[in-house]
Structure 1
Amino acid sequence: MTYTFHSDTDPEHDLVCSIEKLSRPVDLDLLAQFQIHGALVDMYGKCGEISSAQKMFDEMPQRNVVTWNSLVSGYLHVRCPGIAVDLFLEMLRVGIAPTPFSVSAVLVGCSQLEAERLGTQDGLESIAYIVVTLAIAYSECGGSLEEFRKICLSVTKWDQISWNAVIAGFSNLGYGEESLKCFFEMRLAGVDVDFFTFTSILKAVGIISALEEGKQVHALVFKSGHAANLYVQNGLVSMYARCGAIDDSKRVFISMDRHDVISWNALLSGCAYHGYGRETVQLFEQMRRTHIKPDNTTFLAVLTACSHAGLQDKGLEYFNLMRNDFFLEPPQMEHYATIVDLFGRAGNLHEAEAFINSMPIEPGLTVYKAILSACQVHGNKEIALRSVKKILELCPNDPATYVLLSNVLETGGYWDDASKVRKLMCDSGVRKTPGYSWI
């Protein structure tokens, strides 16, 4: 028995041919022009012709992180660390995520600034502030733990601002335990905590579901007089919800004098992801009666709840509300993926595939993986193969795709085909990272 990916244009292409087809070259005209400009910025910077590098940089219609890094390095090369650091901060402001090279370069710039100003002590406070800003910005851009630790080692003044930045940084990166350790060290050092500290540490507690530690932080919130702060209250609602303590989350929510969209989102998301589907819908209806306008996060929570609770009609109603209401944010890729999951969990795989084909935006990985997961549950080989072809076009080396396809074939009883997929996975050098328990 064989398996093939069927298409209207070429019905003979099978799985192996589909993968090989992905190696086609793309149109390099614009890409080559972009790379040449970037290479010129790098060359001028390394040659010390920083004005030419800046001119070439300014003329580029688009810039990526490599181009920004080249210009920053160029200014460091000609001993202009102040401009280099300012450029880095501007890069963050325009939404370019830094790389480890970016971080290393700007830390060199900060060191040069310290050396220049050490005799007069002028500007050292601003340098410390830049390092702290770098710590928060780098964590928000999803950097690596190792590079973030390197930034932390560059902090020379451990005041409340510095501790808050490091605690928030570890929380943003998803390392709740590290954030908790820093919080304990901050307390031992006798540094006062503020509402920003509590907001960050409550997020960290929620990440690792440390409910007992969360209750201790809650008690400290009352003792320190921050219980009425809206940001802290939102953090408490979210923390309890993430830990699965939905009743405690509700109690904090009800005790609040006022709510914003973050308050509602925290409670809705907690209920949705812990199986309180119908209650999530009721809360959403209650929110709609307030003056607070739901956003993308709100709809993602309620659509997820409808999907998990099997409320297909309700989920489609809310999705259409989101899509047709001019005053609401338009659906994003994750919302479309949730609707595909909604159809898939109900076993309506053909409806899910038709929905994907009618999407006004190009479907992404999450969309195709949602229908592929549904195919595994319901053993639909044909739709699974079509979905896998799309996934491999987007991400040819994704191990989860091969595993899911193999599982679909096994569920349908196609054992020989499943074995071939596993063999193809090995021959292609694709490896799945073994699962492990965080506990």
Structure 2
Amino acid sequence: MIAPMPFTISLVLVACCQMEHYEVGIQLHCLCLKSGFVNVVLGTNLIDMYSKCQNVEASRRVFDHMEVDRNVLTWNSIVSSYARNSQPDEAMVLIREMLRSGVNPKQATYNSLLSSFSTDGHFDKCKQIQCRIIKEGFEVNHYLMVTLMTVYSECNGSLDDFWKLCSGVREWDQISWNALIAGLSHLEHGEEALTQFSFMREAGVETDHFTFISILSAITIASALRAGKKIHALILKYGYASHLDVQNGLVSMYARCGNVHDSRKVFSSMFTHDVISWNSLLSGYAHNGHGREVVELFEEMRRTEIKPNHATFLAVLTACSHVGMLDKGLEYFELMVNDKTLPPPPIEHYTTIVDLLGRFGYLNEAESFINNMPIEPGPSTYKSLLRACQVHGNKEIALQSAQMLLKLHPNDPAAYILLSNVLDDGGCWSDGAGVRKLMYDRGLAKKPGCSWI
């Protein structure tokens, strides 16, 4: 029998990473321990294997046992492990430990870490990493700049800051243009994204499916149906009409622009569907007020092998609320809650049920539902109940809901306005005026509304 060498095991571990064969990876780890194979290459590959198989704890255990035998690739692997599994705070701690140990992060380390930043709360960390990148002279790296563009658009929300960053990009190739268009879409500047798409084509830069996915998202934001049809023609011309993600983008674009007929037409022409395909169609129909069709489509989806996720259920529950299908809405909510393959539903789903009960005037039931929620109710939950109280004239529950809402957000003018409206509708003019005066005395003001018409 020929015994495997460490080099052989390393190669097989790399294959396990690519194919995410967790069980085989564990067996190889056991073989390493049994054979006494311990070196930096094997340890680094084991960290990478566990990371890509989504077992960060195992990655960390391997890393901790390599106290002496660590190099920059080992550090890169453990930082990437936390970053890849959406744990940027832990990755930032490791970066600091890495610097204290005298190992300088490489460009790939920073790129992995930046890729894990995705919310407003991560922007300060993004700025810290950007400062390190500038200090170490990595700002000339094209891929790092493109990653920064993506992170800025997802975490910051400031168009001015995004443009300042873009001005530092030295090479405008397909990747840069795609990041620019995707960034503007994330920032919800659809018209500007369309303008930059035109500039990209004028510059002779080739488009790919990533370009079309981003520009379809921008068209959805801008509600530019005419431009959407032109992009659809380009997609057909360049041969991306059979790409699943592009097809999903077309389904969503047509539906969100009010053309549910063409949305359904694209959906029906697809050879395969995934959960995003169904969600795009369902949310599009719900967005345009076709609630009963949403329920019919959902029942059709349940007959397929594709399992609904939380986004699916939110679209269906919203549709049930808008068309007044109380029994169906409650049935689907129970179906979701009892589905053990899904994580616990977020606050939006509970708020939709409160809205559904409130529309039927079941205010006591809605209040009881809120009090028995397994998660903490949010402001949107109490606002939904307050609006129902205004419609049905229930002053008592309105006062209780407003009190809870003000505890959560004492500076939210919507709470004062909703409560004041309930009191005014109930004939308590002085009490309503008192609530508005309290709002103004606290320096709060409702943002004025606007209309496209």
Query: TM-score w.r.t. structure 2 length?
Result: 0.74
Q: Does 1:138 align with 2:152?
A: yes
The CA deviation at 1:297 is: 0.2
Q: Is the 8 A contact 1:100 1:147 kept in 2?
A: no
The CA deviation at 1:101 is: 4.8
Aligned pairs, number? 365
The CA deviation at 1:329 is: 3.6
Indicate the larger mover: 427-436 or 181-190: 427-436
CA distance in 2: counterparts of 1:339 and 1:346, whole angstroms: 11
Give 1:319's aligned residue: 333
Give 2:259's aligned residue: 245
CA 81–149 in structure 1, closer or farther in 2 if over 3 Å, else same: farther
Of the three residues 277, 281, 304, the one matched with 2:291 is: 277
Q: Tell me, what secondary structure is at the counterpart of 2:266?
A: helix
Identity %: 56
Q: Does 1:342 align with 2:388?
A: no
CA 88–255 in structure 1, closer or farther in 2 if over 3 Å, else same: closer
CA distance in 2: counterparts of 1:326 and 1:101, whole angstroms: 37
Question: Superposed, which structure 2 residues align to 1:153-302 within 5 Å?
Answer: 153-302=167-316
What CA deviation, in whole Å up to 9, does each residue of 1:180-211 have, x standing for no partner? 11111111111011000000100110111110
Q: Tell me which amino acid in the other structure corresponds to 2:411.
A: N
Give 1:333's aligned residue: 347
The CA deviation at 1:97 is: 4.5
CA distance in 2: counterparts of 1:97 and 1:68, whole angstroms: 16
CA 366–255 in structure 1, closer or farther in 2 if over 3 Å, else same: same
CA distance in 2: counterparts of 1:148 and 1:81, whole angstroms: 28
Q: Is the 8 A contact 1:68 1:91 kept in 2?
A: no
CA 101–326 in structure 1, closer or farther in 2 if over 3 Å, else same: closer
Structure 2 gaps, min length 5: 1-86
The CA deviation at 1:84 is: 9.6
CA distance in 1: counterparts of 2:320 and 2:434, whole angstroms: 37
Of the three residues 371, 378, 400, the one matched with 1:364 is: 378
Q: Is the 8 A contact 1:85 1:106 kept in 2?
A: no
Give 2:401's aligned residue: 387
Of the three residues 359, 382, 387, the one matched with 1:373 is: 387
Give 1:413's aligned residue: 427
Q: Tell me, what secondary structure is at the counterpart of 1:253?
A: helix
Of the three residues 113, 135, 148, the one matched with 1:90 is: 113
CA distance in 1: counterparts of 2:411 and 2:316, whole angstroms: 33
CA distance in 2: counterparts of 1:203 and 1:365, whole angstroms: 29
State the structure with bigger RCO (CA 8 A, min sep 6), 1 or 2: 1
CA 248–177 in structure 1, closer or farther in 2 if over 3 Å, else same: same
Q: Is the 8 A contact 2:123 2:152 kept in 1?
A: no
Q: Does 1:426 align with 2:426?
A: no
CA 214–389 in structure 1, closer or farther in 2 if over 3 Å, else same: same
**RMSD over equivalenced CA pairs, Å:** 2.9
Indicate the larger mover: 300-309 or 385-394: 385-394
Give 1:26's aligned residue: none
Give 1:354's aligned residue: 368
CA distance in 1: counterparts of 2:115 and 2:409, whole angstroms: 28
CA distance in 2: counterparts of 1:153 and 1:268, whole angstroms: 40
The CA deviation at 1:138 is: 2.8
Q: Is the 8 A contact 1:237 1:266 kept in 2?
A: yes
The CA deviation at 1:433 is: 2.0
Q: Is the 8 A contact 2:115 2:147 kept in 1?
A: no
Q: Tell me which amino acid in the other structure corresponds to 1:337.
A: T
Give 2:37's aligned residue: none
CA 64–394 in structure 1, closer or farther in 2 if over 3 Å, else same: farther
What CA deviation, in whole Å up to 9, does each residue of 1:36-86 have, x standing for no partner? xxxxxxxxxxxxxxxxxxxxxxxxxxx997x969x88x97xxx99856994
Query: TM-score w.r.t. structure 1 length?
Result: 0.77
Q: Is the 8 A contact 2:393 2:422 kept in 1?
A: yes
Give 2:59's aligned residue: none
Q: Is the 8 A contact 1:242 1:270 kept in 2?
A: yes
CA 246–64 in structure 1, closer or farther in 2 if over 3 Å, else same: closer
CA distance in 1: counterparts of 2:264 and 2:431, whole angstroms: 50
CA distance in 2: counterparts of 1:104 and 1:355, whole angstroms: 42
CA 91–210 in structure 1, closer or farther in 2 if over 3 Å, else same: closer
Structure 1 gaps, min length 5: 1-62, 118-122
Q: Tell me, what secondary structure is at the counterpart of 1:435?
A: coil
CA distance in 1: counterparts of 2:277 and 2:392, whole angstroms: 37
